[in-house]
A and B are shown apart, each in its own frame.
Chain A
Amino acid sequence: MATDVHLAPPTAAPARTARSSSRTARAPRARLGILGWLVRIVLAVVFSFPLLFMFVSSLKPDAQIFGDLASLAAFLPVGNISLDNYAAVFDRVPAARFLINSVGVSVVTVALGIVINSLAAFALSRMRVPGKGLILTVIIATLIIPFETLALPLVWWVNQLPSLSVDEFGVAFTRGWLDTYQVQIVPFIVNAFAIYLFHQYFESIPKELDEAARMDGAGWFRIYRKVVMPLSGPAIATVAILTFLPAWNSYLWPLMVIQTEELRPVMVGIQYFYQLNVSWGEIMAYSTMITLPVIALFIAFQRSFINSIASTGVKG
């Protein structure tokens, strides 16, 4: 499985991309005719204008949003521009709380996921562990289970799990994880695809390096921390992005397991806006608030984002 990447230098990520791939991977130097350019531009309009409309409308009062529809003004920040909708969003919902919740849940999920999945992949790639062939097979086999098939039984299951609670009477065991932060984090830490990606990547790091470190008396954990992980930047970035996006965007799961307002993430918070007295300006403002950070991250780390998506297409 993927022995061709085995001897590659550690900088060659398993994911190939437009820029990093070598000359064999270059596209033919195509001449794009007028038609080609036209199609490109039309597609760019199709993909960007709805989002542009969202950003721009977040600055306008409702009457003007509808009024501008018939002209190009719908896509331009003109007319009665203000941040009123944003102020109204914070009045209507605890938006800051939702944002903090989502940032916290995503960051903790991603951070723990990187540590736990890479540790497992390290052991599977580098160490003699009984039954590791079977373990890797089971992990990869779980990839075909869509989360949607697990979600409903999982709701019942997390409601049976014991939980530690601390109150004025001391520490006690309670039953059920519903309505907690941990229920939004713990089930999503282990990620079969992340283990697979780390494993592929670790296989491309020469094992002579750990042997040399072991000669110097380094233990396994030290090799993991000081030799393998520092060389695995691209794999870490890929896993971080691939686990961050679903964590930030999660909707189905928190919808089912969170009732308390203070624990809600941003995507569930959106419900407040389209249920009673709909204000489209506020919807656009809230949508912009929870979308712009991700788009900013994407534009800042564009190469890594594209790499990580491309890596989902890599097969053994």
Chain B
Amino acid sequence: MTTSTQGPSIIPLEGVAIAKLPGPVGRKKPNRSYRHEQRSGLAMLAPAIVLLILFILIPAGLAFGLAFTNARLISPYPATFAGLDNFVRLFQDASFGRALLNVAYFAIVVVPLQAGLALVMALLINTRIRGTTFFRTIYFLPVVTSMVVVSLLWVFLYREDGLLNVLLSKATFGLVTGPDWLGETATAMPAIILMSVWQGVGFHMIIWLSGLQTISAELYEAADIDGVSRWQKFRYITWPGLRATRSLILVTITIAALSLFTQVSVMTQGGPLDSTTTVVYQAVESGFRQQETSYASAISLVFFVIVLIISAIQRLLTREKV
């Protein structure tokens, strides 16, 4: 955190001598040069700080503030204080309850599925075998493809007469006739889950991979000499070595899962019968379509508190298991 050179001080005396080196030069006008440095530093920071305040801190504060008013997006009247009205309405809103349940369902399935599959893929490409770069590139392709495009593509794959059902029927010699995946309450969410994992898993594969590569190869070599089995190597070397990566992946997938929006917006608009509506989708519907900024802010606030609580719990859980 200090601005000194932080060289490894072998002998304390030498360290002192090094630290004083610029002394004689700057001695005559230390104040002026320090003030100049402060001023230039603040000038360099200023654009970022102004933008940070304007577009992150103020909106965050507004999510709090507006939630307790009756503000509308476009309104001739100034907003007035409304107390807890929005929150009372929120907890009586059946759609919002449904949204919370759906998001929980989505997160509980997606987090282990995506993290697990990503780890398997990372292990598969963490080798020196030829063709690894090729496979890594292929697995990563959906990540650089926009979620909007992916969602629309999968709308086609999921049609009743779409690619998935044709394949299903071919593979079972016509025994299985797939449903209209996105049109039925029971299958819409699983369909969105499958597609989301397909799109996002490559991202977490790379993060696992960077974690795997921090584990010393000597540990594996030592294990080889001792004739340790593959599973034991994974259990006692790889898995403990991934502790930091694990908690990071857990938190990032969970937050992304709770923020589910784009897929739903493109594929189902929350339907059928609210079976795929989500918290963010509800916020956008009320804040944007119905222009009820205050109600949307209340949803955003509740959402943020949930995200905070869940990531705090996850951090605690992953920290304790040292």
Chain A residues with a Cβ under 8 A of chain B: 3, 6, 15-18, 21, 23-30, 32, 36, 39-40, 43-44, 46-48, 50-51, 53-54, 66, 69-70, 74, 116-117, 119-120, 122-124, 126-130, 132-133, 135, 138-139, 142, 144-146, 148-157, 159, 186-190, 192, 195, 206-208, 211, 215, 219-221, 224, 245, 248-249, 251-252, 255-256, 267, 270, 273-274, 280, 283-284, 287, 290-291, 294-295, 297-299, 302, 305-306, 309-310, 312-315
Do residues A152 and B293 form an inter-chain contact, with CB atoms below 8 A? yes
Residue of A39, A43, A294 most packed against chain B (CB within 10 A):
A43
Shortest CB-to-CB span from A252 to chain B, Å, is 6
Measured in the bound complex, the distance between the Cα atoms of B301 and A148 in whole Å is 11
Do residues B255 and A146 form an inter-chain contact, with CB atoms below 8 A? yes
A287-B152 CB under 8 A given contacts A123-B41, A211-B22: yes
Do residues B207 and A310 form an inter-chain contact, with CB atoms below 8 A? yes
A-B contact pairs, 21 of them (CB 8 A): A24-B218, A25-B214, A27-B128, A28-B221, A36-B124, A48-B141, A50-B142, A50-B154, A123-B41, A127-B38, A138-B52, A152-B293, A153-B63, A153-B293, A195-B48, A207-B5, A211-B22, A249-B148, A256-B288, A291-B145, A295-B141
- B-side contacts of A51, CB under 8 Å: 141-142, 145, 153
Do residues B311 and A290 form an inter-chain contact, with CB atoms below 8 A? no
Do residues B206 and A190 form an inter-chain contact, with CB atoms below 8 A? no
B62 at the interface (CB under 8 A from A): yes
B177 at the interface (CB under 8 A from A): no
Do residues A48 and B163 form an inter-chain contact, with CB atoms below 8 A? no
A-B pairs, 10 with minimum CB distance: A120-B48, A129-B41, A313-B207, A152-B287, A190-B51, A127-B41, A310-B210, A25-B213, A153-B62, A152-B296
Do residues B45 and A249 form an inter-chain contact, with CB atoms below 8 A? no
Measured in the bound complex, the distance between the Cα atoms of B25 and A148 in whole Å is 52
Do residues A120 and B216 form an inter-chain contact, with CB atoms below 8 A? no
A312-B207 CB under 8 A given contacts A27-B212, A287-B152: yes
B3-40 near A? 1/0 per residue, CB < 8 Å: 10110000000000000001001000000001001101
- Within 8 Å by CB of B304, from A145, A208, A310, lies A145
- Within 8 Å by CB of B217, from A24, A156, A215, A299, lies A24
- A-side contacts of B277, CB under 8 Å: none
Which B-chain residue is minimally distant from A41 (CB atoms)? B135
B230-252 near A? 1/0 per residue, CB < 8 Å: 00010000000000110011001
Measured in the bound complex, the distance between the Cα atoms of B280 and A195 in whole Å is 27
Do residues B293 and A313 form an inter-chain contact, with CB atoms below 8 A? no
B137 at the interface (CB under 8 A from A): yes
Do residues A116 and B287 form an inter-chain contact, with CB atoms below 8 A? no
Do residues B213 and A18 form an inter-chain contact, with CB atoms below 8 A? yes
Q: How many A-B residue pairs have CB under 8 A?
A: 323
- Within 8 Å by CB of B166, from A44, A70, A135, A283, lies A70
Which A-chain residue is minimally distant from B304 (CB atoms)? A149
- Within 8 Å by CB of B308, from A24, A50, A144, A252, lies A144
- B-side contacts of A127, CB under 8 Å: 3, 37-38, 40-41, 44
| The stretch of B66-74, B92-100, B108-116, B185-193 that contacts the partner chain | B66-74
A50-B157 CB under 8 A given contacts A129-B38, A252-B284, A306-B140: yes
Shortest CB-to-CB span from B32 to chain A, Å, is 13
- B-side contacts of A157, CB under 8 Å: 58-59, 62
- Within 8 Å by CB of A122, from B44, B51, B211, B265, lies B44
- Within 8 Å by CB of A43, from B139, B146, B157, lies B139
A148-B146 CB under 8 A given contacts A26-B128, A142-B52, A155-B288: no
Measured in the bound complex, the distance between the Cα atoms of B58 and A206 in whole Å is 36
B144 at the interface (CB under 8 A from A): yes
Measured in the bound complex, the distance between the Cα atoms of B139 and A221 in whole Å is 42
Measured in the bound complex, the distance between the Cα atoms of B288 and A220 in whole Å is 45
Shortest CB-to-CB span from A112 to chain B, Å, is 9
